[in-house]
Copies of this chain bind each other. A is one copy, B any other.
Amino acid sequence: MTVAQVLLALELIGTFAFAVSGALLAAKKGFDIVGSLLLAGLAGLGGGVIRDLIVGQGVPTAFAAPLYLIPVAAAALAVFCHLIREDRLRRTLLVFDAVGLSLFCVMGSTIAYTAGLNPVAATLLGVITAVGGGALRDIVANEVPQIFNPDGVYAAPAFLGAAATTAALYWEVFDGFAAVAIALMVFIIRILALKLRWRVPLAVLGLPRKASGE
């Protein structure tokens, strides 16, 4: 497999993962199947579309290649047919979200850097690709986005992954193996952060953390 093939496979898996999080949120909110498809599409493809609009090289990939709609439809269908169950909703949603997060920060930085953006912008666009779809999903469903939940470490691992990807590209040591390794690192950090209840400092130093039922 070439790097391009590994990256495409990762992007489709990440799209499916985020799309599942969208379809599960639609189920939780009692939306219908059309709303489920829309929310799955926003979650799965929204981050990449924002990235492509900012990079500005023609029609966003999600629209140029109908292939990307397959994981979205598959995710909505899997939730519709109970293949991905609602009764373990919270945990399932978190794992799928973590898979998407780790794959998309790598993809986003790679695409932005390859398009000629500076390393700082490439890192930022990796983070935007990773958290943008989930943020759009939550904003459109009228929820406070998960990125802002202070009882979790969400954007920080995406930032690490995006920075590592950009560094690897800058020093020309990026390949399919590096992509998978960085994504795995981001996934492990995200899951460890959930299990071990890691916390990022609050927006104001020394302020007490509100009690919250994560």
A interface vs B, CB < 8 Å?
Answer: 23, 26-27, 29-36, 38-39, 49, 53-56, 58-60, 63-64, 66, 69, 76, 79-82, 86, 117-118, 120-121, 124-125, 131, 135, 139-145, 147-148, 150, 154-156, 159, 199-207, 209-210
Task: Give the number of copies in the complex.
Answer: 3
Q: Contact: B66 with A59, CB < 8 Å?
A: no
**Besides A26-B148, A35-B203, A142-B143, 8 new A-B residue pairs in contact (Cβ under 8 A), listed by A number:** A30-B210, A35-B150, A38-B147, A54-B63, A56-B58, A63-B117, A140-B148, A142-B144
Q: Contact: B203 with A80, CB < 8 Å?
A: yes
Q: Contact: A205 with B82, CB < 8 Å?
A: yes
Looking across the interface, which residue of chain B has its beta carbon closest to that of A84?
B204
| A34, A79, A121: residue with the most chain B Cβ atoms closer than 10 Å | A34
**In the complex where A54-B49, A140-B139, A150-B35 touch, is A82 in contact with B145 (Cβ < 8 A)?**
no
Q: How far is the CB of A73 from chain B (nearest CB, A)?
A: 11
**In the complex where A54-B53, A63-B124, A117-B59 touch, is A203 in contact with B156 (Cβ < 8 A)?**
no
Q: Which residues of B contact A144 (CB under 8 A)?
A: 29, 141-142
Q: How far is the CB of A158 from chain B (nearest CB, A)?
A: 9
Q: How far is the CB of A77 from chain B (nearest CB, A)?
A: 10
Looking across the interface, which residue of chain B has its beta carbon closest to that of A49?
B54
Q: How far is the CB of A112 from chain B (nearest CB, A)?
A: 8
| A23, A26, A60, A121: residue with the most chain B Cβ atoms closer than 10 Å | A121
